[in-house]
Amino acid sequence: MRAVVVYESMYGTTRQVAEAIAQGLRQGSVDATVLPVADASPDAVQQADLLVVGGPTHVHAMSRPATRASAVDQADAHGLSVEEGAAGSGLREWFESMPSVHAVASAAFDTRLDGPKMFTGQAARGIAKALRRHGLPLVAAPESFLVDKQTVLLPLELTRAVDWGRALVGHSLVAS
């Protein structure tokens, strides 16, 4: 079984979560590839048995060009390093250019501030909607991995991401 984990990341936390999810998938004997959204071609998606997609939560949802630009601008003020390509296209644009793909299991995740979803938002819900619109059935509920106000993952979130990736293996085998 092949899995592709596609992510968008501004400061590196969503990339860390994507890598941890792939680690969990590999523990379940899945060949897992991690790709930044800029490198996620339609061919990569079509060759996968499981597509896992995640990104940061910006202003309650998936990032937009304006929120990515703002995040880049604020990085210096907060002493943060910006991921290579972070200011470029994100998941919204990727979904707009992605063809419909059927019979590929999928899952959605995000990184968001620790707090009630009604206050922080949850990009994973929008990601899940976009996956379904493209004909990709979800094998798990959208999942959030939490960061603090300095965008640092909370303790045990990477462990939780590994566990979630491992759990996706069983779900995707059932869905296939």
Write out pLDDT tens, residues 45-89. 888 999 999 999 999 999 999 999 999 988 888 888 999 888 889
Q: At what angle do helices 157-175 and 13-27 cross, to 10 degrees?
A: 50
In this structure, which amino acid lies at residue 7?
A: Y
* Residue 106: per-residue pLDDT: 96
Residues 14-40 have a mean pLDDT of: 97
Which pLDDT value is given to residue 176? 42
| Nearest residue to 109 via CA among 143, 79, 137, 133 | 143
Query: What pLDDT score was predicted for residue 17?
Result: 98
Return the pLDDT at 136.
92
103-150 tens-digit pLDDT: 789 999 999 999 999 999 999 999 999 999 998 999 999 999 999 999
Residue owning tokens 């250019």: 97
List domains and CATH numbers for the chain.
2-175 (3.40.50.360)
Q: Flag whether pLDDT at 92 surpasses 80.
A: yes
With the C-alpha atoms ordered 88, 35, 125, 72, is the resulting torsion angle positive or negative? negative
Separation between Cα atoms, residue 15 and residue 17, nearest integer Å: 5
